[in-house]
């Protein structure tokens, strides 16, 4: 067994002492954010400059030249801009992403262990976020600068260990998928994904929503996982497991899923971060590519023809990630010209990493 990193120890602690430390680190983070704001003077929130080298941009080994890697390191970022009449910009994510910039702090102190994050496709400027295990069956709406935009109570759901939230097409619109599949002991038999239409209204205060509970099981026993991905074209779901060493497993849901029966997943491959810790703690999929993160790194996988499993079989590159107490979230912006992250802890900063074509 490898030595325990501080991130592995965080993941294994029980909620009590872990929360005390997260609250302390949240306070430290708030002080650090204030100091950075003072130092920045009149610089705008997104006034970071592109790193001068691929290494400074967080590029992984071999990413600078692209040698030995599929051409998927670059991708169109205008998949959501169809009909605009403008040519889709081609972004080389491996080299053209800026350092993460803090947009603001989480205003809603009920968000204290952010574990899943996804961007709305209906409400511009809105992100949905939920807490880790121990919270009620609810999620929150926040602005890009951390504004409190409301709470959504999923009244027919349970929250054993919610770990990720994804968004994908369904029934002519967009659905949210909330994964209740955290299983540190690898002993659960009640894994569920909750599916519900994206809320039609976002406003301060609480709203009640209902969902469909889609029970599922792995074909080879219990697993711990913190990453749920939705294919941006078909809405088909994928789970990436979380392991302390070696490769993580990738599982695919059946195409037709519903509450009437338990879905049996299919093992479709493995994925292993090329650097840093092995613990995959979150991800998001877009027509431009797939982002997977660990506690220490963020990785970009170009979206391959076929499905997410094919994308994750390619070699990734490392892209910038903010310094976070315990980072488990990442969400593409709808236009894929940036992505967002939020750490666990109260009043944590919302980071945005912008990427642009030359």
Angle at 150 (CA atoms; ends 323, 294), nearest 5 degrees: 25
The CATH code belonging to domain 6-354 is: 2.120.10
Helices assigned H by DSSP within the chain:
6-12, 15-40, 308-312
Q: What is the pLDDT, as a whole number, of residue 77?
A: 56
CA–CA distance, 221 with 132 (Å, rounded to integer):
23
The pLDDT value recorded for residue 45 is 34
Which pairing describes strands 225-230 and 114-119: parallel, antiparallel, or unpaired? unpaired
Position 171 scores a pLDDT of: 86
Whether residue 82 is predicted with pLDDT greater than 50 in this model: the reply is no
pLDDT confidence tier of residue 36, bands split at 50, 70 and 90: very low
Q: pLDDT category, 24, cuts 50, 70, 90?
A: very low
What integer is the mean pLDDT of 90-101? 95
- Cα angle at 116 between 275 and 132, to 5 degrees? 100
Q: Does residue 348 have a pLDDT over 60? A: yes
- Note the pLDDT tens digit of each residue in 184-241: 999 999 999 999 999 999 999 999 999 999 999 999 999 999 999 999 999 999 999 9
User: Over pLDDT 70: what percentage of the chain?
Assistant: 75
The confidence score (pLDDT) of residue 75 equals 64
**Sheet of 237-241, strands arranged across:** 225-230, 237-241, 248-252, 266-271
- Which of 51-65, 165-179, 301-315 is modeled with the greatest confidence? 165-179
C-alpha 123/C-alpha 198 separation (Å) is 9
Q: Facing residues of 170 across strands?
A: 173
Main-chain phi, psi angles of 88, to 5 degrees: -70, 125
Q: How confident is the model at residue 199, as a pLDDT?
A: 97
What tens digit of pLDDT does each residue of 242-273 get? 999 999 999 999 998 988 889 999 999 999 99
pLDDT at position 74 is 61
Angle at 329 between CA 324 and CA 335, to 5 degrees: 115
With b for 16 or more beta-carbon neighbours within 10 A and e for fewer, the 107-133 pattern comes to ebeebbbbbbbbbbbebeebbbbbbbe
The neighbouring-strand residues paired with 225 are 241
Contact 181, 251 (CB under 8 A): no
Give the C-alpha separation, 305 to 303, whole Å: 7
Closest CA to 191 of 128, 236, 231, 237: 237
At 353, is the secondary structure helix, strand, or coil? strand
pLDDT at 88: 58
* Residue 209 token pair: 């929503």
Q: Does 9 score more than 70 pLDDT?
A: no
The whole-number pLDDT of residue 357 equals 77
Would you say 163 and 139 are in contact if contact means Cβ atoms under 8 Å apart?
A: no
Higher per-residue pLDDT: 5 or 245: 245
CB atoms within 10 A of CB 36: 12
Please answer whether residues 164 and 116 qualify as being in contact, where contact means their C-beta atoms are separated by less than 8 angstroms: yes
User: What pairing do the DSSP bridges indicate for beta strands 225-230 and 248-252?
Assistant: unpaired
Could you tell me which residue, 35 or 165, shows the higher pLDDT? 165
Confidence of residue 136 (pLDDT cuts 50, 70, 90): very high
Ordered by start, the domain boundaries in the chain are: 6-354
Give the CA-trace dihedral at 323, 184, 310, 86, to 10 degrees. Answer: -40
The per-residue pLDDT for 304 is: 81
* Cross-strand partners of 338: 354
Mean pLDDT for 66-92 is 52
pLDDT of 87 reads: 54
pLDDT digits (tens, 9 = 90+) for 226-245: 999 999 999 999 999 999 99
Distance (Å, rounded) from C-alpha 90 to C-alpha 115?
30
Q: What confidence category does residue 6 fall into, taking pLDDT thresholds of 50, 70 and 90?
A: very low
Is the pLDDT at 311 greater than 60, yes or no?
A: yes
Q: Please, how many CA atoms are within 13 Å of residue 90, restricted to the half-sphere of its CB?
A: 4
Q: Which two tokens stand for residue 300?
A: 């970009």
Decide if pLDDT at 342 tops 60: yes
What token pair was written down for 115?
């574990």
What is the pLDDT, as a whole number, of residue 73?
65
Q: Look over the chain and give the mean of its residue pLDDT values, rounded to a whole number.
A: 82
């Amino acid at each position: 067994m490898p030595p325990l990193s501080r991130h592995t120890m965080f993941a294994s602690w029980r909620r009590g002492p872990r929360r005390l430390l997260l609250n302390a680190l949240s306070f430290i983070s708030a002080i650090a954010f204030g100091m950075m704001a003072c130092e920045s003077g009149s610089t705008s929130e997104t006034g970071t400059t592109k790193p001068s080298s691929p290494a400074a941009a967080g590029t992984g080994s071999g990413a600078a030249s692209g040698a030995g890697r599929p051409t998927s390191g670059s991708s169109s970022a205008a998949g959501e801009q169809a009909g605009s009449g403008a040519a889709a910009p081609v972004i080389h994510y491996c080299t053209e992403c800026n350092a993460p910039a803090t947009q603001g702090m989480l205003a809603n102190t009920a968000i204290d262990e952010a574990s899943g994050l996804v961007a709305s496709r209906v409400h511009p400027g809105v992100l949905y976020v939920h807490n880790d295990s121990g919270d009620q069956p609810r999620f929150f709406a926040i602005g890009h600068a951390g504004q409190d935009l409301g709470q959504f109570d999923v009244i027919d759901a349970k929250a054993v260990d919610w770990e990720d939230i994804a968004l994908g097409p369904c029934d002519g619109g967009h659905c949210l998928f909330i994964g209740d599949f955290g299983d540190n002991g690898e002993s659960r038999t009640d894994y569920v994904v909750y599916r519900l239409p994206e809320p039609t209204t976002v406003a301060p205060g609480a709203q009640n929503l209902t969902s469909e509970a889609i029970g599922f099981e792995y074909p080879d026993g219990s697993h711990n996982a913190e990453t749920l991905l939705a294919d941006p074209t078909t809405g088909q779901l994928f789970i990436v497991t979380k392991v302390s060493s070696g490769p993580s497993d990738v599982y695919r849901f059946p195409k037709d899923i519903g509450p009437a029966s338990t879905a049996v997943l299919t093992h479709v491959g493995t994925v292993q971060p090329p650097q840093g810790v092995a613990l995959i703690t979150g991800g998001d999929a877009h027509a431009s590519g797939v982002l997977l993160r660990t506690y220490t790194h963020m990785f970009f996988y170009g979206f391959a023809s076929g499905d997410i499993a094919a994308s994750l079989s390619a070699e990734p590159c490392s892209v910038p990630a903010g310094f976070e107490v315990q980072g488990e979230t990442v969400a593409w912006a709808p236009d894929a010209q940036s992505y967002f992250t939020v750490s666990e802890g109260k009043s944590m900063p919302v980071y945005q990493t912008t990427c642009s074509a030359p």
